[in-house]
Amino acid sequence: MITVHNLGLKYGSFTALAGVNWQVQAGEQWCLLGPNGAGKTSLLRCVLGLQQPTTGQVKIQGLALADLPPLERARRIAYVPQQTYALTGVKVIDFLAQSRYCHSKPFRPLGPKDHAAMGRALEMTGLQGCEQANLQELSGGMRQLAYIAQALAQETPILALDEGFTGLDYPHQAQVLACLKGLREQGITILSVHHDLNQALALGGHALGIKNGWVCFQGRVEDLLAPGCLQGLYGINLDVTPGNPPLVRLP
């Protein structure tokens, strides 16, 4: 589904990523983890085609990302950014409708498939009844849900989230967790950046640990709990309480 080969990224003299090799199979869940400034978002942006790497290559479904026009990329991967914006005068339903452009011809009105996709996205995020609300009227957490709903309405085989749980209370975090697990059961490939290890453990699947631009861990997310692994990734000792899932916290 996704192949990253020898990826490197520099901002001037600063090396953000170096020698990243990563393969993602269809239907897998990957959590990108590591300290602040490690390169998680930079890697995700390279995979999305929003950032041109300095070296290396990204392939999506066997095709070089650099050769795919934006419309083709939009049909393959949807994105929930780290920062969301309250677009003035834009209703939630119109915001979701923007995600359907990659499935339609220019100036064609929305059809039954479009409305069905938007309806499913609203239901999965618990936003039914908010369709006519303006984005600037929503709380930060509800606006985050609207961005997630827009990505879901895009109906792509790959979903990427950069801190997708930002601003969400516990009930809505639980709802998004259940939504992502349901998508994975449907065969959707999910890439998600996390600062909260407990969210990653709750999601399960695989983890990519990044530190100082280098990949220092690839494997099952629960294998991060092996002795010394979290210390190596974050540089501090963390307490792990056994459970299903385990709980990670500061000592």
Nearest to 179 by CA among 198, 197, 195, 202: 202
Q: What is the spatial distance between Cα 249 and Cα 230, in angstroms, rounded to a whole number?
A: 11
- Residues composing the chain: 251
How far apart CA 189 and CA 151 sit, in angstroms, is: 13
For residue 43, give the nearest of 234, 200, 209 by alpha carbon: 209
Q: How far apart are CA 181 and CA 32, in angstroms?
A: 16
Instruction: Taking the CA atoms of 222, 223, 227 and 230 in sequence, report the sign of the dihedral they define.
Output: negative
Q: What is the pLDDT of residue 89?
A: 86
Domain 2-82+157-249 = CATH 1.10.3720.10:
no
Beta bridge partner(s), residue 249: 239
Residue 207 φ/ψ, nearest 5 degrees: -135, 145
DSSP E strands in the chain: the ranges are 2-11, 14-24, 29-33, 55-60, 63-64, 77-80, 158-162, 189-193, 206-211, 214-220, 239-241, 247-249
Could you read off the pLDDT of 145-176 as tens digits, one per residue?
999 999 999 999 999 999 888 888 898 888 88
Q: State in Å, rounded, how far the first CA of the chain is from the last one.
A: 39
* Cβ density class 165-188: b for 16+ within 10 Å, e for less: bbebeeebbebbeebbeebbeeeb
∠ Cα 46 48 52 (to 5°): 35
Please report the pLDDT score of residue 138 as a whole number: 87
Structural domain spans, the chain: 2-82+157-249
* Mean pLDDT over the full length of the chain: 92
User: Quick check: 14 and 201 in contact, CB under 8 A?
Assistant: no
Nearest to 20 by CA among 41, 37, 43: 43
Tokens of 50: 């929003």
What's the whole-model pTM score? 0.91
Predicted pLDDT at 88: 81
Residues (pLDDT < 50) of the chain are: none
Position 121 scores a pLDDT of: 95
